[in-house]
């Protein structure tokens, strides 16, 4: 499979496994994540709007410690924020999370042709909360979460390499599909091809290093030749 890039031709090795990010790529959970954070911040008298959180925290890839520093939350309130935010998010996922576009149908079509894997920066409890509503785990050969990667989160390639090992496919024969720049970076660091799904939560410029770019998840099937 190949595509033209200026005067060059990009040649992709045969894709033997398709790996996916979760939040924002397969499920529309990013607005719920932002809501959980904003409500938890409000309980500590920190006010931030959703757009600011998206640009200054989510796009920046800030995790727990980064949010505390960005919002100048005293460490004595850290555990309160952490537990409150996570509990709110898990509850929202169980009640409200939905597939992104035609993600479920796309996964079903892809699963009929190749093993699927998921590597997400979300905790296992969040994946389980989504699973209770969408039964998404039934479509994957293996799933790697933050519980498995610890501090080795994207753009570190550790999680993707671990996922490829669990599936039994060489990294170079895997394609990773995600919606953020750190997804592109992680795939490149793992020597995998990468397809970027652009959404309203995708930062500008993220597509520059991607091998393929799509604006709806169902277009992945055409890229793979299915």
- Is the pLDDT at 50 greater than 70, yes or no? yes
Determine the average pLDDT of the residues in 80-104. 97
Which pLDDT tens digit goes with each residue over 199-223?
A: 988 998 999 999 999 999 999 999 9
pLDDT value of position 10? 40
| Alpha carbon 56 to chain centroid, angstroms | 18
**Per-residue pLDDT band at 13 (split at 50, 70, 90):** low
Q: Model pTM? A: 0.86
Label residue 191 left, alpha or beta by phi (over 0 means left) and psi (-120 to 50 means alpha): left
CA-to-CA separations, 62 to 46, 69, 70, in angstroms, rounded: 17, 10, 9
pLDDT value of position 39? 96
| Alpha carbon 199 to chain centroid, angstroms | 12
Cα torsion 67, 72, 78, 81: sign: negative
Q: Which CATH number fits domain 2-28+98-224: 3.40.50.1470, 3.40.50.920, 3.40.50.1000, 3.40.50.300?
A: 3.40.50.1000
The three-state (H, E, C) secondary structure of 138-172, written as one string: HHCCEEECHHHHCCCCCCCCHHHHHHHHHHCCCHH
């Amino acid at each position: 499979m190949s595509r033209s890039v200026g005067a060059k031709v990009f040649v992709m090795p045969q894709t033997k496994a398709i790996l996916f990010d979760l939040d924002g790529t397969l499920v529309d959970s990013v607005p719920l994540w932002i809501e959980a954070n904003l409500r938890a911040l409000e309980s500590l008298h920190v006010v931030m709007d959703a757009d600011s959180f998206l640009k200054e925290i989510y796009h920046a890839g800030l995790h727990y410690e980064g949010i505390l520093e960005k919002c100048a939350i005293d460490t004595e309130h850290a555990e309160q924020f952490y537990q409150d935010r996570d509990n709110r998010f898990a509850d929202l996922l169980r009640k409200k999370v939905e597939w992104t576009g035609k993600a479920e149908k796309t996964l079903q079509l892809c699963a009929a042709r190749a093993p699927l894997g998921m590597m997400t920066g979300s905790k296992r409890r969040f994946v389980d909360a989504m699973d209770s509503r969408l039964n998404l785990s039934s479509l994957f050969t293996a799933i790697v979460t933050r519980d498995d990667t610890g501090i080795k989160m994207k753009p570190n390639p550790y999680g993707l390499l671990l996922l490829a090992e669990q599936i039994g496919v060489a990294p170079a024969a895997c394609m990773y599909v995600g919606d953020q720049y750190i997804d592109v970076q992680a795939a490149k660091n793992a020597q995998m091809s990468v397809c970027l799904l652009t959404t309203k939560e995708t930062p500008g410029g993220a597509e520059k290093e991607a091998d393929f770019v799509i604006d709806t998840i169902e277009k992945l099937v055409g890229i793979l030749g299915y």
